[in-house]
Amino acid sequence: MNFKNIDYKILSIVSVLFLIGIFSLSDKGLFNKVPAYSHNLIYKQIFWFIISLSIFFISHWLGYQRFIELSPFLYLFSLCLLLLVLLIGPIKSGAQRWLHFGGLNFQPAEFSKLAAILILTRYFVFHKDEIKKTKIFFISLGMILPLAGLIFIQPDLGSAFILFPVFICLSLLCGVKKKNLLILFLLAILFSPLFWGILKDYQKKRLLVFINPHIDPLGAGYTIIQAKIAIGSGRLWGKWWWKGDNQFSFLPESHTDFIFASLGEKWGFLGGALVILLYYLLVKKIIEAGILAHNLAERVLAVGVATLIFSHFFINIGMCLGILPVVGIPLPFISYGGSNLVVNMLALGMVSSFKKEV
């Protein structure tokens, strides 16, 4: 492997985001004497980062072309994993989203997002000369729907939803007729009552409390209210992580879905602004890789990865601020958990493989 070709700017931004996540988790495990290694969030997250770094370098070495060639297999593999989750996956908090491998938990929905980007990239590039045809648009949409449906059943509304911004951005980039996207939008509105009817009760409550969290302040609206309070209490400078006062222990999922609220409490407005700036720089670098691309496949893949990461951080921060419904989306590279981290690093390794020596 030629390490000169690696995009170290992307790697540096990701490393800083990861360190911010580690410091945000500090009162969850860094200063607690936990006898068992597997119970320490900090050490487990560092372990996952080391694994994801290895995967980044392997992905870069293999090159994005290899993954696009294998995309039909990866797509079918992701479908099998999602079906396997529904058959043998453990149920946690009413959701069935994980598989156990050798003592580790893996969330196939995360891998499915990348598989969707790869199969769409392959399909759009292969059919670039007939991209205006309505048939091509709806066949590509048909590739996404099985993934979205299986993820929705788990239920994981957030991960299922993210597949559609990715699909729309890639469709627009490749030049599909905007009329087809309008038809898709109208169909979504037409079937929205049916969609509402198949939602779980807690999902309906989450959407309702998004409009007014105070209709259920001790139930579905609790996390939204407490997240806003935590972010507001951080003010400009925050309370700082080393004080160890653990003021944020009242909010559930403060190490995963609501870690930005925890970060806002500890580091205040300036800390939150720094995180948003880092995500801006990361997405900008990925888009630049697409702009400088030598072919359509690189451009489509870059936009897909950029949309995936942007959608995650935008929705996650929106949840914490109360401007978007709570749908259970992790904050990339910062939230605790290995599946999202590994998949994102795999995707960034592909983007890094675009870079050629001058």
Question: What does DSSP assign to residue 294?
Answer: S
**Angstrom distances, CA of residue 139 to CA of 72, 167, 185:** 14, 12, 16
Q: How many CA atoms lie within 13 A of 92 on its CB side?
A: 10
Contact yes or no for 101/113 (Cβ under 8 A): no
Q: Which residues pair with 99 in a beta bridge?
A: 106
Place of tokens 């205040």: 268
Report the distance separating Cα 138 and Cα 189, nearest Å.
17
Burial class of 33 by CB neighbour count within 10 A (0 to 12, 13 to 18, 19+) = exposed
pLDDT mean over 244-254: 55
Report the distance separating Cα 21 and Cα 347, nearest Å.
20
Identify the residue with better confidence: 230 or 75: 75
Query: What confidence score (pLDDT) does residue 358 get?
Result: 33
User: Tell me: the pLDDT tens digits for 51-79?
Assistant: 999 999 999 999 999 999 999 999 999 99
Lowest-pLDDT range, 83-87, 174-178, 204-208? 204-208
Identity (one letter) of the amino acid at 304? G
User: Tell me: the pLDDT tens digits for 84-106?
Assistant: 998 887 877 777 788 887 777 88
pTM over 0.85: yes
Report the distance separating Cα 144 and Cα 149, nearest Å.
9
Structure tokens at 36: 């068992």
Question: What does DSSP assign to residue 291?
Answer: H
